[in-house]
Amino acid sequence: MSGRSDGMSERRDGTAAPLLDVRNLRVHFSTKAGIGRSREVVKAVEDLSFQVHKGETLGLVGESGCGKSTTGMAVQGLVRATSGDILLGDVNMAKVRAGRARAARRRTQMVFQDPTSSLNARMTVGQILEEPLLVHHLVAPRERPGRVRQLLDVVGMPATSVYRYPHEFSGGQRQRIAIARALAVQPELVICDEPTAALDVSIRAQVLNLFRELQEQQDLSYLFISHDLSAIYHVSDRILVMYLGRPMELTDRETLAHRPAHPYTSALLSAVPVPDPDIEQSRQRVILSGDVPSPVNPPSGCVFRTRCPMAQARCADEVPAWRNLGDEGREHWVACHFAEPSIGAVLIEAQQSGSV
């Protein structure tokens, strides 16, 4: 691949390569063995592949425990990948040497779910925002106060915030400070791990709008992780649905919202409340039976089969291929033997008739 002046690489066919290219990622954790017990392996992420392009927001959605946060931390380098590749430009973050790790990680930063625990309570806001500038040797000492004030201004915080401590701010203000810290090193990709989950409902929209404004101003790319489909839809260009560590469906947000092809996606969408009381009262939901299986001992074949209303004998024997249902250049990736773009409507009709 040849270099480009804008920091992006280029494929041989002349098209821009993705900013982030995750290939067959696996992240496994070994549990401690107790008395009379053997070690067990938790398959947090299993054979996950996706791309994030420059200026794009990829939403990552799924139930708690599906591997969303682990994926984000693996991309950031906070947890080690068991196997697979995490290509950030020309650097493989899954295999990068210690000497290159710091420079590579500057290109991507992370905004965590709880700003109270992610900000150092013993440091002032000014010290918190100066720290990444010191670590990466980005700004001369005399210029740091000006850079800190600039970062606060970008996220809508007053300059006087530099003298105060995190506990003196509201949850929404603390998250704005965390966003400013992430922007301090001028990253290309920001990983947002449930950034609005700990905030009041009235503040969530403000923070989501801030993310969109910053993306337009600074040409940022986001990997936006959440269990909230409405928030994901609001900020994302494409959406990746995960279940029990595996990818289920990946397509643009409009296709996912109106023509889901995977039964799990249809179930997630049916659980999103509609603000119109008449529609909310009359619509039918896709109710899944049972609980999410343990990642220590996932089901054979398709991991969703134990709760899927369309499961057949084939689902227990074969892992579904990750196939593209899209046409005319539109990508619509699905991991299901029987997936069709209209499956959401079929499931709802089946439930209304009592056959599901």
Q: pLDDT digits over 61-101, tens only?
A: 998 889 999 999 999 988 999 999 999 888 898 888 766 77
Structural domain boundaries in the chain: 17-107+187-243, 126-183, 259-356
Domain range 17-107+187-243, CATH architecture: 3-Layer(aba) Sandwich (3.40)
Does pTM top 0.95 for this prediction? Answer: no
Q: Which pLDDT does position 31 carry in this prediction?
A: 80
> Under a CB-based contact definition with an 8 Å cutoff, are residues 280 and 274 in contact?
yes
**In sequence order, which ranges of the chain are alpha helices (DSSP H)?**
68-76, 98-105, 115-118, 125-135, 144-154, 171-183, 201-218, 229-235, 253-258, 263-270, 277-282, 313-317, 343-353
Task: Find how far residue 72's CA is from the centre of its chain.
Answer: 6
**Residue 188 amino acid letter:** E
- Cα–Cα distance measured from residue 131 to residue 137, given in angstroms and rounded to the nearest whole number: 10
Query: Residues 218-266: pLDDT tens digits?
Result: 999 999 999 888 889 989 999 999 999 999 999 999 999 888 999 999 8
Q: For residue 238, give every residue at least 6 positions away whose Cβ sits within 8 Å of its Cβ, in sequence order, or none.
A: 56, 57, 58, 59, 250, 251, 252, 253
CA–CA separation, 300 vs 320, rounded Å? 11
With a cut of 50, list the residues of the chain below it in pLDDT. Answer: 1-9, 11-14, 344-356
What is the structure's pLDDT at 201? 83
Coil vs helix vs strand at 212: helix
Place of tokens 């469906």: 249
